[in-house]
Structure 1
Amino acid sequence: MPKIIMGIESSCDETGVGLVASHEDGTVELLADEVASSVDQHARFGGVVPEIASRAHLEAMVPTTRRAFDAAGLSMSDVDAVAVTAGPGLAGALLVGVSAAKAYAAALDVPLYGVNHLAGHIAVDTLQHGPLPTPCLALLVSGGHTQLLRVDDIAGAITEIGSTVDDAAGEAYDKVARLLDLPYPGGPPIDKAAREGDPAAIAFPRGMTGPRDAKFDFSFSGLKTAVARWVEGAQARGEQVPVADVAASFQEAVADVLTAKAVRAATEAGIGTLVVSGGVAANSRLSALAQERCAEAGIELRIPRPRLCTDNGAMIAALGAHVVAAGHKPSALDLSANPGLPVDTVLV
């Protein structure tokens, strides 16, 4: 019989509850993935407000859990283990999820596993494409993180080989969207606007690509500033800002750097599989350019479908399934949330 793993995610502004079945052959089957988002409550502030996010998690946790079990056709008594995001993330938001997971684990008398949100973004790919080849390289791109990770074992051996030194890619999208009077969060509206623009219209800089720069680190602060200066210049001259061209040129700069560094890292390490995940992985230009460059380099590219790329409980359940299958010791019931949990700590 497969083991049923419940996953709870509450690191930012999505309350996610997922249920998976972990089979003896190593495959993990998605049974339910329910998400309640508080993004509309944050939109007028142009970013996530931690106190609002925490309150929204409190209100959404039980209804989201009920929807997940209804969707899967399961009852609470079917659960064999509970996995929860223990970090990184917003402290108050994490505490809501961790507290709920402790309560469910104690009430059901099943083991509790506090796991890493970032590793969850990689593990979720196994729900769509099956077990991960090892080693593989993961490019994690979201609103709060931009990292290149070597994955030797999703249940406990992840090594960071590159990270952003300032803004994450998703954060840059949000800030540029604000400059262009586009809605929050900025990823989808910029992607949509860029389809009507010329990606070569404006030569925006490619950060951290000089000969003396760290080969696998990223920087998007300078790009964001360059977009701001260009827009200010056009407005000062009384010109109408060509939103589509600015969006397309900005997006091209981001996708160019991300894919070039990821493919270079995989090639130099002799790794044949690249997994791209996180919210920005749903971006159309990033996925298209990654496919093109991976094909040229002979690298297998795996990108989860957009629903799985954003924060959700299914990714935490998937990671929990791998941790359980690996035979790791459960977390203690006095588990604490860790907002700064490093990526190489998969299980707390």
Structure 2
Amino acid sequence: MTVVLGIETSCDETGAGLVAEGHLLSDALSSSMDEHARFGGVVPEIAARAHLQAMLPVVRTALERASLEPGDVGAVAVTAGPGLSTAVQVGLAAGKALAFGLGVPLYGVHHLAGHAAADVLEHGPLPQRSVALVVSGGHTSLLLLGDLARDRVVHLGDTADDAAGEAFDKVARILGLPYPGGPSIDRAARDGDPRAIAFPRPLTRPSDPPYGFSFSGLKTAVARWVEHHGGPGGDGVAVADVAASFQEAVADTVTRKAVAACRDHGVDTLLVVGGVAANSRVRALAEERCAAAGIELRVPPMRLCTDNGAMIAAVGDALVRAGAPASPLGLGADPSAPLTGALLTGPWG
């Protein structure tokens, strides 16, 4: 049995996880979110410094929680991209140092493959074919998956501009809600009417790309509506209704396209992963539509939806068990790495 240590530093969370034979042994996480809150978004250099400070304590904590020593680690998996350049470089450098020092193979993996792999830790191996809806602060994609460790990943569609999570942050700022925007809008929407305002559903016309996404125009529609009704804090702005209506537009768009992708490709399993998968309306509407379409819905527990080291360890574990070649220690960070496979180098990368 090979114990895989996973390291994740693509944005503002420093994560370490330990996985063996598909089972999560432990994980630990440190977030620099509070340091970014006053800027209304993640500042790359602040994130990178926070990763430097948190790296060794987070790895040590993960090992202690699993009652393991460094020498028990048989492989190291680390996010090599995509993500914030300086943040990814910190994690990759740490992963290389640990792999070299321990004398074990290094696997540089794709961040989005990690989100898909997170579900394996909760629900077991993926079926032969599945569709993954990745909705996060930096990504909104529909992927056609086979074996994560062996098969190429097929991109069905991506966002042309803002990711869903980015739109949540920007709309929260428009409404005067605190950062991060996803949880703030979810909370505010509980007291609102999702039918109060008919915000647009982007790229849902028959002539539009069937699996493409765009949230910049939706964000602008919210901003114009708020401005027309007196601006943030204006008497004509019911924050709860705006939040609920915006949230409904996002949830409606992403789940509609995800179910259509399953139907069009003859797939009966949908994964919804990434930070926005923690949104209550996205989860509820995905469950409703999958049940109606006879599609099995798989969503990781909320703590595994956001960035974490366990998901990267899960990818590494799959690669080890598949006999994938290790990455060279000269592997460079790729902040804009396209997703063609879980491994960023080698025949499947």
Query: Residue 271 in 1 paired to residue 267 in 2?
Result: yes
| 2:171 equivalent among 167, 176, 187 | 176
- Identify the range of structure 1 (9-18 vs 147-156) with the bigger mean alpha-carbon deviation: 147-156
Task: Give, as a single letter, the amino acid of the residue that structure 2 aligns with 1:53.
Answer: A
Would the alpha carbon gap of residues 194 and 328 (structure 1) be closer, same or farther in structure 2, given more than 3 Å must change? same
What amino acid maps onto 1:166 in structure 2?
D
Unaligned runs of 5+ in 1: 23-27
In structure 2, which of residues 319, 323, 334 is the aligned counterpart of residue 323 of structure 1?
319
Q: Whole-Å Cα distance in 1 between the matches of residues 215 and 274 of structure 2? A: 17
**Among candidates 287, 312, 335, match of residue 291 of structure 1:** 287
Aligned amino acid, residue 207 of structure 2? R
Look up the equivalent residue of 1:95 and give its one-letter code. Q
- What root-mean-square deviation, in Å, do the aligned CA atoms of Structure 1 and Structure 2 show? 1.0
* Partner SS for 2:134: strand
Whether 1:97 aligns to 2:96 is no
Could you tell me how far 1:291 is from its partner in structure 2? Answer: 0.3
Q: Is the 2:134–2:142 Cα contact (8 Å) retained in structure 1?
A: yes
The one of 238, 243, 246 aligned to 1:247: 243
CA distance in 1, matches of 2:252, 2:163: 15
Shift in Å at residue 238 of structure 1? 5.5
Report the 3-state secondary structure (helix = DSSP H, G, I; strand = E; otherwise coil) of the residue aligned with 1:86: strand
1:57 aligned to which of 51, 54, 76 = 51
DSSP-derived class of the 1:80 partner: strand
Partner of 1:214: 209
Aligned residue type for 1:250 = F
Pick aligned residue for 1:111 from 85, 105, 109: 105
SS at match of 1:18: strand
Matched, 1:33 2:27: yes
* C-alpha separation in 1, matches of 2:124 and 2:82: 26
1:305 aligns with 2:273: no
CA contact (8 A) 2:188 2:244 kept: yes
SS at match of 2:207: coil
2:78/2:108 contact within 8 Å kept: yes
Letter in 1 for 2:62: A
After superposition, the C-alpha distances for 1:254-285 in whole angstroms (9 at most, x for unaligned) are 00000000000100110000000000000000
Instruction: Provide the residue aligned with 2:115 in structure 1.
Output: 121
Task: Calculate the TM-score normalised by the size of structure 2.
Answer: 0.97
What is the distance in 2 between the residues matched to 1:240 and 1:193? 16
Summarize deviations over 1:295-338 as a string: whole Å, max 9, x none: 00000000000100000000000000001111111001111110
Secondary structure of 2:229's aligned partner: helix
Counterpart in the other structure of 2:12: 13
The number of residues matched between the two structures is 342
Give the Cα–Cα distance (whole angstroms) in 1 for the partners of residues 152 and 318 of structure 2: 12
Partner Cα separation in structure 2 for residue 255 and residue 99 of structure 1: 37
CA deviation map 1:163-196 (0-9, x unaligned)? 1111100000000000111111100010011011
Q: Residue 153 of structure 1: SS of its match in structure 2?
A: coil
> Aligned partners of 2:336, 2:55: CA distance in 1, in Å?
23
After the TM superposition, which parts of structure 1 deviate over 3 Å for at least 4 consecutive aligned residues?
A: none
Equivalents in 1 of 2:100, 2:210: separation in Å? Answer: 46
CA contact (8 A) 2:112 2:339 kept: yes
Aligned match of 2:137:
143
1:69 aligns with 63
* Aligned counterpart, 1:191: 186
Find the aligned partners of 2:25 and 2:326 in 1 and give their Cα distance.
Answer: 23
1:270 partner SS: coil
- CA separation of 1:56/1:238 partners in 2, compared to 1, >3 Å: closer, same or farther? closer
Query: Structure 2: which amino acid aligns with 1:330?
Result: A
Query: Cα deviations across residues 140-178 of structure 1 (Å, max 9, x unaligned)?
Result: 000000000000121142110011111100000000000
Give the whole-Å Cα distance in 1 for the aligned partners of 2:64 and 2:84: 29
Asked whether the equivalents of residues 148 and 341 of structure 2 are also in contact (C-alpha less than 8 Å), the reply is no
Q: SS state of the match for residue 157, structure 1?
A: coil
Distance (whole Å) between structure 1 residues aligned to residue 283 and residue 166 of structure 2: 18
Structure 2 distance, partners of 1:34, 1:256, is 33
Residue in 2 that maps onto 1:25:
none
Q: What percentage of residue pairs aligned between the two structures are identical?
A: 63
Judge conservation of contact 2:70–2:102 (CA < 8 Å) in 1. Answer: yes
In 1: Cα distance, 2:247 partner to 2:299 partner: 18
Report the AA paired with residue 184 of structure 2: P
Q: Normalising by structure 1, report the TM-score.
A: 0.97
CA distance in 2, matches of 1:140, 1:345: 15
- The 3-state SS of whatever aligns with 1:328 is coil
Equivalent in the alignment of 2:197 = 202
Q: Which amino acid aligns with 1:149?
A: L
Paired AA for residue 197 in structure 2? I
Measure the CA separation in 2 of the matches of 1:297 and 1:33: 35
